[in-house]
Structure 1
Amino acid sequence: MSALAWSSIVSLAAWVWLLLGQGFFWRTDQRLPPRRGPQPTRWPRVAVVVPARDEAAVLPSSLPSLLAQDYPGVAEVFLVDDGSTDGTGRLATELAGRCGGLPLTVVSPGEPEPGWTGKLWALRHGMALARTRGPEFLLLTDADIAHAPDGLRRLVAAAVDNDLDLVSQMARLRVGSPWERLVVPAFVYFFAQLYPFRWINRARPRATAAAGGCVLLRTETAVAADVPEAIRQAVIDDVSLARAVRRSGGRIWLGLAEGVDSVRPYPGLGELWRMVARSAYAQLRHSPLLLAGTVAGLVLVYLVPPTALVVGARDGDAVAAWAGGTAWAVMTGTYLPMLRYYRQPPWLAPLLPLTAFLYLLMTVDSAVQHYRGRGAAWKGRTYARPDAASDR
C-alpha cells in the first residue's frame, strides 16, 4: 500500500478511537444538573465578581442581566475595573442607577503587581472584598457574559443539590459573522475533545477543567485552594482554577450552558485569531515538543482524511480514498451535534478540516509570538512565560 493509504488508515483508526474512547466528547448532553427535591428553605448568600478591562462596548448588554437576577437569597455584584481607559467603571455605576436590581460595588485595584496576570489580579481584589460580606458562594463571571434571569438560582441549586464545590458553564459564544460560524463552534468542539465533560463530571474524574466565563465557587473551597494566589501567573486561568480546586479535594462539574451567552463580537478572522493565539502555546506549556506533536496530530487527524479522499480518487488509490473518506465522514458526524447546539447549518460540518488548519496556524503563530518575546497579549498587556508554571 502507498504511504498515503497507510496514513489514511491510521487517521481512520484515530477517529474510531475518538468516537468511542474519548469520553463521547462530541455529545452535547452535559447540561446543568436538574433540581432534585424541594426548593431550599434557605438560599445561601452569593457574591458576584466581575473583572472588567475596557468593556464599555459590551457592558450595557451584560451587566443589566446580572443586576436583574431572580435569586431568592441575598446576592450582590462586585465589578472590578481593571485599569480601563474607556470609562468602564463609570458606565457600570450609571447602568446600576438606571436598571436597579442587585446592589453593585465598583472598585479599581490599580495595575497588577509583578507575577500576576491582569484578570487574576482583578479577581484577587474582587474576591477579597466580596468575602467581607460573608458569602457562601462566589460567582466569577466575565464582563461580556449575559445571564438568563434564573441563571444564578439554577447554578446555586445545582451546587447545593449535588454537593459540588465548583460549577462551571461553557458560555454560548456569539455566532453571527461568517468567520464566527466557521471558527467558534469548533473552538468549543476542540475544547471538549481535549477536556471531555463526561470525564470531568465523573465521580472518579479523568480530566479537570472549567470555563472561566461562568464559575460558581464555594467560598470555603476558594480559601482551601488558595485561589487566586495559587494560580496568579496563569494565562489559562479557568483550567488552572479547576486544577487548584481539584487538588484541594473539591468536586467539579462542567457543561454547556443554556442562558449564559457571550455578547462579545468577533466579526473578523483577526479578532478570532488573537483570541486563540494569545493562549494556545501556553496550553502546550511552552513546549516545542508538544507543539510539534500537536501540529503532527492535527495534520494526521484532520487534514489527511480529505487529502486522502481527493488524491486517492484521482490516482486510483482505492484504499486511501476509502479510508480517508470514511474518516472524514466520522469527523463530520461528530461535529454535527455542536453545530446543532450553536444552531448552525449542517453543511458547515465537512469544513472542519479547514477550521482545524486555521487552528494549526494560530497555534504556530502563538509559539512564534512567544519566542519573539511578546508572550500572551490581551487588551494592551503582554504576559511573558512565568518562571514557574502555575497552571499544571
Structure 2
Amino acid sequence: MSVVAWIAVGSLSVWLWLLVGHGFFWRTDQRLPPRTAPPAGRWPHVAVVVPARDEAAVLAKSLPSLLAQDYPGGAEVILVDDGSSDGTGKLARELSVKYGGLPLAVVSPGEPAPGWTGKLWALRYGVEVARAGNPAYLLLTDADIAHEPDSLRELVSAARGDGRAEGDGSGGGFDMVSQMARLRVTSTWERLVVPAFVYFFAQLYPFRWVNRAGARTAAAAGGCVLLRTEVALRARVPESIRGAVIDDVALARAVQRAGGRIWLGLAERVDSVRPYPGLGDLWRMVSRSAYAQLRHSPLLLLGTVAGLVLVYLVPPYAVAAGLFTGDVAAGWAGLAAWAVMTGTYLPMLAYYRQTAALAPLLPFTALLYVLMTVDSAVQHHRGRGAAWKGRTYSRPETAPDR
C-alpha cells in the first residue's frame, strides 16, 4: 500500500476507537432526566450571579427570563456590572422594574486586581455579595443566557437528586451541575461552525467521563453552573482560579479537587441569545482562548494540529487520492473514516435541529478550527493574548492544576 493509504488506515483506526472507546462522546443523551417523584423537604435558597460587561444588546432577551424563574424557594439575582460603557446596569434596573419577579441587585466591582481575569473578578464580587444572604447554592450564569421558567427549579432538583433514577450518571447528589446552553444557529456560518464547536468540546471532555463517580475528567459549561456554596468555599473559587481564561474547565477542576462531584450535560431549556452572524465573530470566539487551552505550548500546538489533520483532513484527502490517482486502498480507507466521522456528527446536528447534509462538511469546519487555533497562537506571540470586551490578557492561564 501507498503511504497515503497507510495514513488513511491510521485515521480510520483512530475513528473506530473514538466511536466505541472514547466515552461515546458523540452521543447527546447526557441531559437532566425528568423527575419521577416530587421533591422532598424545603427548597434551598439560591443566589443567581450574572457577570455582565457591555451586554445591553442581549440583556433584554436574557435577564427577564431569570427574573421570571418559577422557583419555590428563596432566590435573588445579582447582576455584576463590570465597567460597562453601554448602560448595562441602567438597563438591568429598568428591566427589573418592568418585569418584576425575583429581586434584582446591580453591583459594580471596579477594575480587576492584578492577576485576575475580568469575568472571574466580577464573579468574585458577585459571590461575595451573595454570601451575605447565606444561599445554599449559587447559580453562575452568563448575561447572554436565557432560561425557561423552570430552569432553576430543575437544576436544584438535579443537584439534590430529587426523585431521579440513578444509573446513567445523572441521578443527582451533585455539588456542581452545569448545562451546555444551546447556542444560536441562525446564520449560515453559525450552522456550519456552532454544532461542531460543541461536538469538539464533547470530544475533548466526554460528558460520560465527567459525570461518572470518581471521575478524573473535569469540565463545565460556564454559561450555566449551579454550585453548592459550601463546596465553593472549600474549593476557594473563584480565588483559586483567578487567572484562568477558560474559567469553566478551571472551575470544574477546582471543585473536583475539593472532593465535589460534578455533572455536565446538554441543555434543553437554557439557550444562548448571543448572535455570531459572521465568520469573523465565530473566529474571535474560538481564537481568543484556543491557545490558552493548549497552555501556550508550541509542542501541544504542533501535536494538536497534527492530530486534527490526521483525524479530520486525511479522510477526504485520501478519498480524493483514490479518485484522481487510482489509489484504491487509500480511497476506501479514507471513505470509511469519513463515513464514521459523519455518523458521529449526526446526533449533534439533530440536537441543534440542523440538516444531516451538514455532516459530511465536518472536515471543512475542522480546517477552520485548525486555522483559528494557529491564529490564537500567533496573536499570543504578538502580545495580544486573549482579548475580550476591551481587555487583553497577554499570558492568561487556562485551568491551573495547582
Q: Same fold (TM over 0.5)?
A: yes
Shift of 1:34: 3.1
* Identical amino acids, percent of aligned pairs: 76
Conservation of the 8 A alpha-carbon contact between 1:239 and 1:391: no
Cα distance in 1 for partners of 2:47, 2:398 equals 29
Conservation of the 8 A alpha-carbon contact between 1:199 and 1:207: yes
Per-residue CA deviations over 1:157-212 (Å, capped at 9, x if unaligned) read 00011221000000000000000000000000000000000000011314110000
Equivalent residue for 2:332?
Answer: 322
Per-residue CA deviations over 1:259-306 (Å, capped at 9, x if unaligned) read 100000000000000000000000000000000000000110000000
Which amino acid is 2:298 matched to?
P
Conservation of the 8 A alpha-carbon contact between 2:246 and 2:398: no
Equivalent residue for 2:169?
Answer: none
Give the TM-score, by structure 1 length.
Answer: 0.99
Structure 2 segments unaligned to the other structure (5+ residues): 162-171
* Counterpart pick for 1:309 among 281, 294, 319: 319
Cα distance in 2 for partners of 1:267, 1:41 equals 46
Conservation of the 8 A alpha-carbon contact between 1:237 and 1:391: no
Is 1:227 aligned to residue 224 of structure 2? no
Cα distance in 2 for partners of 1:159, 1:41 equals 14
Cα distance in 1 for partners of 2:311, 2:159 equals 37
| Closer, same or farther: CA 149–127 of 1 in aligned 2, 3 Å | same
Is 1:297 aligned to residue 285 of structure 2? no
In the TM superposition, structure 1's runs of 4+ consecutive aligned residues that sit over 4 Å from their partners are none
Which amino acid is 1:374 matched to?
R
Shift of 1:333: 0.2
* Counterpart pick for 1:359 among 339, 358, 369: 369
Structure 1 segments unaligned to the other structure (5+ residues): none
Conservation of the 8 A alpha-carbon contact between 1:34 and 1:158: no
Equivalent residue for 1:207?
Answer: 217
Equivalent residue for 1:60?
Answer: 60
Cα distance in 1 for partners of 2:214, 2:34 equals 21
Cα distance in 1 for partners of 2:94, 2:109 equals 20
Cα distance in 2 for partners of 1:251, 1:180 equals 33
Structural RMSD (CA): 0.9
Matches within 5 A, 1:1-392: 1-161=1-161, 162-386=172-396, 391-392=400-401
Cα distance in 2 for partners of 1:110, 1:134 equals 24
Secondary structure in 2 matching 1:57: helix
Shift of 1:389: 6.5
Give the TM-score, by structure 2 length.
Answer: 0.96
Conservation of the 8 A alpha-carbon contact between 1:230 and 1:390: no
What is the aligned residue count? 391
Cα distance in 2 for partners of 1:313, 1:238 equals 44
Cα distance in 1 for partners of 2:135, 2:316 equals 53
Secondary structure in 1 matching 2:217: coil
